Amino acid sequence: MTPVRFTARDGLPLHAFLTLPVGVRREGLPLVLVVHGGPWAHDTWGYDPEAQFLADRGYAVLHVNFRGSTGYGKRHITAAVGELAGAMHDDLVDAVRWAVAEGVADPDRIGIYGGSYGGYAALVGVTVTPDLFAAAVDYVGISDLANFMRTLPEFARPHLTTNWYRYVGDPADPEQEADMLARSPITMVDRIRTPLLVAQGANDARVVQAESDNIVTSLRRRGVPVEYLVAQDEGHGFANPENQFRLYRAIEHHFAQHLGGDRL
């Protein structure tokens, strides 16, 4: 895992971590862009089992601390206010373009994967920029920002004032709700043509199953390739080992089929 840096299109400095497979040339590799959740969190240097899992299968792996990520100061985090599916996504696109310009990534074999907010980012990736990604994995991701906020459990609501309400909006305000829907993948689902893997816990109290059901139902109605894993005994993320193995085997197969990495 190597720290790298580049500049977003509006001049904001961005930091990222690039993991490369061992024993292969550092050029023209299939790349998986892994987007962290939160979004008020950040990726750090160190051992990352998902990065190692993907690199072992022949992928370059890129983690990006896009605007809104914590740990880089006030300017970096507040640059994300009102920018879901906007400049926050542009940062991810700029990261992919950096990897392609560096010669590391094959532009025709780019995948995106993330959980929670990262799952939302994956869905934004295949709706806002449908030609950029050759494969995507949405893991317990948000598809409808307004529904997501309405269905959050009561105990979580007091903590939303300075983050979701400030950065995204209040679904009780019709004007703000309209903006939230415009930034929601579910309202752009007709643009999806990228092969998609969706994973969801049936007992998820933070991102309810309807967030995934709505995307999958719409894609299947249109005949767009989508694989759907629902774990009946999981919540917001898979904790049971048997479900984790099931998830990562599906990810392995999905990326091997559509990006051309190795599959053991």
3-class SS of residue 253: helix
Tell me which of 26 and 259 has the higher pLDDT: 259
Q: Please name the residues in contact with 11: beta carbons below 8 A apart, sequence gap of 6 or more.
A: none
> What b/e string do you get for 85-116 counting C-beta neighbours within 10 Å, with b at 16 or more?
bebbbbbbbbbbebbbeeebbbeebbbbbbbb
Domain that holds residue 151: 2-259
In the predicted structure, residue 32 carries a pLDDT above the cut 60: yes
pLDDT band for position 264 (cuts 50, 70, 90): very low
In a domain, 71, yes or no: yes
Whole-angstrom distance, CA of residue 118 vs CA of residue 225: 20
pLDDT tens digits, 181-216: 999 999 999 999 999 999 999 999 999 999 999 999
CATH number for 67? 3.40.50.1820
Percentage, residues of the chain above pLDDT 70: 99
Are 31 and 113 in contact by the 8 Å Cβ rule? The answer is no
In the predicted structure, residue 99 carries a pLDDT above the cut 80: yes
In a domain, 180, yes or no: yes
In a domain, 27, yes or no: yes
**Which DSSP string do the residues of 75-121 spell out, in sequence order?**
HHHHTTTT-TTTHHHHHHHHHHHHHHHTT-EEEEEEEEEEETHHHHH
What is the number of domains present in the chain? 1
In a domain, 242, yes or no: yes
Give pLDDT, residue 160: 86
In a domain, 211, yes or no: yes
In a domain, 189, yes or no: yes
In a domain, 238, yes or no: yes
pTM of the model: 0.96
Give pLDDT, residue 263: 52
Length of the chain: 264
pLDDT tens digits, 35-94: 999 999 999 999 999 999 999 999 999 999 999 999 999 999 999 999 999 999 999 999
- Residues carrying an active site annotation: 116, 204, 236
Are 205 and 153 in contact by the 8 Å Cβ rule? The answer is yes
Whole-angstrom distance, CA of residue 188 vs CA of residue 160: 26
In a domain, 264, yes or no: no
In the predicted structure, residue 163 carries a pLDDT above the cut 80: yes
Whole-angstrom distance, CA of residue 18 vs CA of residue 21: 10
